[in-house]
A and B are shown apart, each in its own frame.
Chain A
Amino acid sequence: MSLTISHLEKHYNTVSAVDNLSFDVQPGEIFALLGPNGAGKSSLVKMLVGFTYPDAGEIKFVDENEPFSSIPSQLLGYLPEDRGLYPEKTLKQNLQFFAQLHGVTNDDIEERCQHWLTKFSLSDRLNDPLKSLSKGNQQKVQLITAILHKPKWVILDEPFSGLDPINQELVVEFLAELKQQGMTVILSAHQMAMVEKLADRVLLLNKGQSVLYGKLSEVFDHYNNHVIDVNFRKHVDNTQLSILSSAFVIKQLSTSRLTITLNEHQTLNELLPHLLKLGEIHELKNQSQSLHAIYLQAVAEHNAHDCKEQSYEK
């Protein structure tokens, strides 16, 4: 079972929502789709679910050697960005209806409802109308609706939005349990702290294009190995600093503290002799960036690169 996306494109009139996108999702992993508003995440999700079709490229989902152009509904659990169930019906009626549509037997429905509603502290509300619940709790019910049939693949569009920090943590636990049960989870989110805790791999989209793609650990390694934080015992030698500035990107934080960003061809070994010429080193460490900071940096770099390309075209 695998999902491979190759050279995918989706355009709405003149706007390119998804632009030459290629990636794959491995079974059993939590795959996070990141990106600013309008980056193309929802357009991509709608194509994966089969609501819309790509203008070019291919979505190839293979299950038991059978290829599909989107994830088949019997294998899929989906939480849409536009949330909503039947507000007049009770929690039980809503959950039962969607589970029955997936062929879950009544005994299994009861058992699974009990399990998930207890996890979300909603077990005593089973016979209450959905509309009597708070927005956050309604969202939790919809999350349960999406996975009650134990799908192999789960796509969650913004599962953390509209939830308070306590409920966000509950959703993190929920997703971890899905992974434990062997489900593959694709989620789109803006809450980087949550994604950091959960995701195995990430794809950062900007303007429909892939900006960052890979294992979360690799992303951190890549960004954190490139920014070096150096503390000197005394003031640095300004003459040597100006020489060094011509070869490295240096940010001077104080008279004795620098941040140096290495490009992909530069190494710490190469930098070290130059640093010793500046003065006696007190402390040297890789700067640890959060996913949030990496996200901002990557999007900013992509936007700058995009502007540069546009000006070249002109």
Chain B
Amino acid sequence: MKNKNVSSKEQVWTVAKWEFLHFFKLKQEIISKLIMLLIAAIIYFFAASGADFDKQYTLATNAEQPFLNKINPAFKFEHVENINNAINKLDQDEFDGVLKYNEQTTNYTLVTLEKDLWQTTLSSQLNALMKQQQLDALDLNQAQYDSLTNSKTIEHQILDELIKNQADKSQTYTAFGVLILLFVAMFGIFGQLFVSITGEKQNRVTEQLMATMTPQTWIDGKLTGQILLAVKTMFGTLLSVVLSMLFFTVIIKQQPISLDFVNWSMLPWFIAFAISGLAICAAFMAAVAAGIDDPNHSSKSALMMLPIAPIAIAFFMMDAPNSSLSIALSYLPFTAFAVMPVRMSLVDLPFWQPFLSFILSVGCFYYLRIFAARIFKMGMNMYGKEPSLKAMWLAIFK
């Protein structure tokens, strides 16, 4: 019974699976999706029962306005002489509501006993009809009427040929959509890596681990597991967003769903940059967490949030995608994963530019994981003493 010779790649994969399954709980995932479905069912139930247009609502009114006949037939108006008497009788269920007209102010007041969804529908229909009535009263010709109803906007023409057609917003929407998903995933990585690395130190399991593999193998396994978890978070969040959109558009509004806002040709680029960003940030966070001995008393944990800053920077870069600063940041590995996709969505770039930026990011990740392992090994041998930032810096380049 001899053990097979285990390679460091196999060890990396074993650690990655351990890390992934430590945070991924299938039962909890299923429960959260079931809760989403339950919420959707509740919303659907209230929407369907609240907007019961098979029922006819009868309203008493003292107005003699012919436009009331144009309102949805679900609402029936009965003219009464004494409107206050009708209001007083609302609790006797003779009328569902009262539409009171004030001749002096020409204002309408809807009076009901309780609040219900049909009242919102009626109010919006009344508002639209009154607006139309006001316009009709002005006795406008077609040109005047069109001028009032169609608002004018300024057209912005950019002479720089590299700037993409602003009418096609799909690339920008896609880029920012991926960035938002990245932002969500990055918060997940921050929490999980912090708990995982410092937790193992607190549980004194690191020496046992280091007797079985190198610090590099351990860090690589942890990072692989965390990146897989982050990708799962991104796709899980995307799935929830798409399902919510489908639900509200198709089921509630009963309209066809359109995915025109997604630019499918650019999506693989954006996903590749997102994964490179996750990898760089995870390696940076792992390096910082590796230098923390006691999470309750360390001031270094705040440093772990630094990689989230580039996402905020990317939003500002939107207004000047071809500025020198934007160009520089789109190649700098710590910001490229956020800035380059935004530039790509706004500016026509030759292939080599995003490709070079991506290669630089991969190179940065390669070295960051080595630095993280060195800091971890140094911290492990300090016997409960937290290494200073200077000591961490020296350990990297030793």
User: Interface residues, chain A, CB within 8 Å of chain B?
Assistant: 46, 49, 51-52, 73-74, 76-80, 82-87, 97-98, 100-105, 108, 142, 145-146, 149-150
Q: Are B204 and A74 in contact (CB under 8 A)?
A: no
Q: Is B211 interfacial (CB-CB < 8 Å)?
A: yes
Say yes or no: A103-B203 contact (C-beta < 8 A), given A51-B381, A142-B208: no
Chain A residues whose CB sits within 8 angstroms of the CB of B4 once the complex forms = 103, 105
CA distance A77 to B3 in the complex (A): 13
Q: Are A98 and B6 in contact (CB under 8 A)?
A: no
Q: Are A74 and B6 in contact (CB under 8 A)?
A: yes
CA distance A74 to B388 in the complex (A): 33
With both beta carbons as reference points, the residue of chain A lying nearest to B14 in the complex is identified as A100
CA distance A145 to B208 in the complex (A): 9
Q: Are A49 and B211 in contact (CB under 8 A)?
A: yes
Q: Is B29 interfacial (CB-CB < 8 Å)?
A: no
Can you list 10 A-B contacts (CB < 8 A)?
A51-B210, A51-B380, A73-B213, A74-B3, A82-B207, A101-B11, A101-B14, A103-B5, A103-B6, A108-B1
Chain B residues whose CB sits within 8 angstroms of the CB of A101 once the complex forms = 6, 11, 14-15, 212-213
> Which B residues, 187 to 235, have Cβ-Cβ distances below 8 Å to chain A?
203-205, 207-208, 210-214
Q: B2-40, CB under 8 A of A: which get 1 and which 0?
A: 011110001100110010000000000000000000000
CA distance A52 to B377 in the complex (A): 9
Q: What is the distance, in angstroms, from A145's C-beta to the closest C-beta of chain B?
A: 7
Chain A residues whose CB sits within 8 angstroms of the CB of B211 once the complex forms = 49, 73, 76-78, 80, 146
Q: What is the distance, in angstroms, from A62's C-beta to the closest C-beta of chain B?
A: 19
Partner of B3, one of A80, A84, A104, A145: A104
With both beta carbons as reference points, the residue of chain B lying nearest to A100 in the complex is identified as B14
CA distance A86 to B1 in the complex (A): 27
Chain B residues whose CB sits within 8 angstroms of the CB of A83 once the complex forms = 204
Q: What is the distance, in angstroms, from A146's C-beta to the closest C-beta of chain B?
A: 8
Q: What is the distance, in angstroms, from B104's C-beta to the closest C-beta of chain A?
A: 74
Chain B residues whose CB sits within 8 angstroms of the CB of A84 once the complex forms = 203-205, 208
> Which B residues, 366 to 395, have Cβ-Cβ distances below 8 Å to chain A?
380-381
Partner of A82, one of B1, B15, B204: B204
Chain A residues whose CB sits within 8 angstroms of the CB of B5 once the complex forms = 74, 103
Partner of B205, one of A79, A86, A100: A86
CA distance A105 to B14 in the complex (A): 13
With both beta carbons as reference points, the residue of chain B lying nearest to A71 in the complex is identified as B211
Chain A residues whose CB sits within 8 angstroms of the CB of B210 once the complex forms = 49, 51
CA distance A103 to B6 in the complex (A): 5
With both beta carbons as reference points, the residue of chain B lying nearest to A87 in the complex is identified as B203
Chain B residues whose CB sits within 8 angstroms of the CB of A79 once the complex forms = 208
Instruction: Point out which of A49, A52, A101 has the most chain B C-beta atoms below 10 A from its C-beta.
Output: A101
Q: What is the distance, in angstroms, from B200's C-beta to the closest C-beta of chain A?
A: 8
Chain A residues whose CB sits within 8 angstroms of the CB of B380 once the complex forms = 51
Q: What is the distance, in angstroms, from A241's C-beta to the closest C-beta of chain B?
A: 54
Partner of B203, one of A51, A76, A86: A86
Partner of A103, one of B10, B208, B214: B10
Q: Are B381 and A103 in contact (CB under 8 A)?
A: no
> Which B residues, 285 to 334, have Cβ-Cβ distances below 8 Å to chain A?
none
Chain B residues whose CB sits within 8 angstroms of the CB of A85 once the complex forms = 203, 205, 208
Q: Are B3 and A102 in contact (CB under 8 A)?
A: yes
CA distance A46 to B4 in the complex (A): 26
Chain A residues whose CB sits within 8 angstroms of the CB of B1 once the complex forms = 108, 150
Instruction: Point out which of B1, B3, B213 has the most chain A C-beta atoms below 10 A from its C-beta.
Output: B3
Chain B residues whose CB sits within 8 angstroms of the CB of A97 once the complex forms = 14, 18
Chain B residues whose CB sits within 8 angstroms of the CB of A102 once the complex forms = 3, 6, 212
CA distance A108 to B2 in the complex (A): 9
CA distance A51 to B213 in the complex (A): 11
Instruction: Point out which of A74, A98, A100, A105 has the most chain B C-beta atoms below 10 A from its C-beta.
Output: A100
Chain B residues whose CB sits within 8 angstroms of the CB of A86 once the complex forms = 203, 205
CA distance A98 to B208 in the complex (A): 9
17 new A-B contacts at CB < 8 Å, known A52-B381, A73-B212, A73-B214: A46-B381, A49-B211, A73-B213, A74-B5, A79-B208, A80-B204, A82-B207, A84-B204, A84-B208, A86-B203, A86-B205, A101-B213, A103-B10, A104-B3, A105-B4, A108-B3, A149-B3
